[in-house]
Structure 1
Amino acid sequence: MARGMLARPCDVFINHHGVDTERTVAGLLYHRLSQLNLNPFLHSKSMQPSNKPFESISSAIRKCKVGVVVFSPRYCNSYLCLQELALLVDMKKKLIPIFCDIKPSELHVMSYDKSTPKELLRFRNALTEARYTVGFVFDSQSGNWSDLVTSASDIIVKILSEEEGC
């Protein structure tokens, strides 16, 4: 069965703004987790042309054990990123935030044409939850990508092994 068909539930959902982080931390982390025989979900790697995006994404989030949220300077410009984050928080998934080239205090919800005041509040609450969760702060100009990916992978493996022990 093809990797993108989600033969088994994903272990880790990687939430990120593709333009900013697909070819760096999100892609590297996906590759590393796959090497560790985990089943990560990353839009560009996990979905096939015939998949329905919203169904695939919400199913992956419901079934995942850990959500990695890669915040970047344009993350909050993405309605989809905030929807995914809010769903991760609503479903009380363990979050591992990675603040890549942005500080937690710089994350702000914008207004979207298609969002309601209730939805904006949900996004703000999800951002607040993530902001106050211990994670990684990374500067792409001076940081070491390999160290970041290794550290994040180690934490994910630890969380997953603790869950299996329950």
Structure 2
Amino acid sequence: MEEIEQNAITPSLTSLRLNYDVFLSFRGEDTRENITNNLYNALYSQGIRVFRDSEGLSQGDEIAPGLMEAINDSAAAIAIISPKYASSRWCLEELATIYELGKLVLPVFYRVDPSDVRRQKGPFMVDFENLEARFGVEKAVRWRNAMERVGGISGWVYDNRYY
């Protein structure tokens, strides 16, 4: 009797399984046709379940609820942080959500200096000033915090020598 009761309240392992191993966060105009596709294909070929937004968002579009669901339903995330990453509020929203959910984040610093990511300097300075003016300080602080934290993680720095 005790065995039956235990099984009735313990969820099965399959019900706890996530749909994706990795969520890819990236700025499409910078990386979709090169490093993002290469990374996606390499992971997928190894049997890793990867979520990649293949439709891209346009200015003014609402972020798809499916993207937030995919972040929630992923074990980890790879953030491919490129020069125009912070020009997209959607990329920053993804990154903030990933960070706030406590997901494992593996950063790829694609043609950017990790210290610029951490401090929002270099190519990120003007983008953050524009976003702050457009969406308010509160949202910008949330996005800045996520960028600072992810910029402080030891990741892979892409410097054109590998491709």
TM-score range, shorter chain: 0.7 to 0.9
Q: How far did 1:129 drift?
A: 0.7
Question: For 1:12-161, what aligned pairs fall within 5 Å after superposition?
Answer: 12-44=22-54, 54-107=64-117, 108=120, 109-112=128-131, 114-140=134-160, 143-145=161-163
TM-score, normalization by structure 1: 0.73
Instruction: Give the structure 2 partner of residue 164 of structure 1.
Output: none
Q: How far did 1:84 drift?
A: 0.4
Cα pair 1:69 1:98 within 8 Å, conserved: yes
1:10 to 10, 20, 30: 20
What are the ranges of 5 or more consecutive residues in structure 2 without an aligned counterpart? 1-17, 56-61, 121-127
Secondary structure of the 1:61 match is: helix
Cα pair 1:12 1:39 within 8 Å, conserved: yes
Q: How far did 1:23 drift?
A: 1.1
Cα distance in 1 between the residues matched to 2:162 and 2:79 = 19
| Structure index of larger Rg | 2
Cα pair 2:63 2:90 within 8 Å, conserved: no
Q: How far did 1:24 drift?
A: 1.3
Which one-letter code corresponds to 1:67 in the other structure? A
Q: Deviations over 1:130-153 (max 9, x none)?
A: 01111011112xx214xxxxxxxx
Cα distance in 1 between the residues matched to 2:73 and 2:134 = 27
Cα RMSD over matched residues?
1.9
Identity %: 26
Structure 1: 4+ residue segments shifted above 4 A: none
Instruction: Give the structure 2 partner of residue 161 of structure 1.
Output: none
Secondary structure of the 2:150 match is: helix
Decide whether aligned partners of structure 1 residues 32 and 89 sit closer, same or farther in structure 2, where only a CA change above 3 A counts.
same
TM-score, normalization by structure 2: 0.74
Secondary structure of the 1:13 match is: strand
Q: How far did 1:125 drift?
A: 0.5
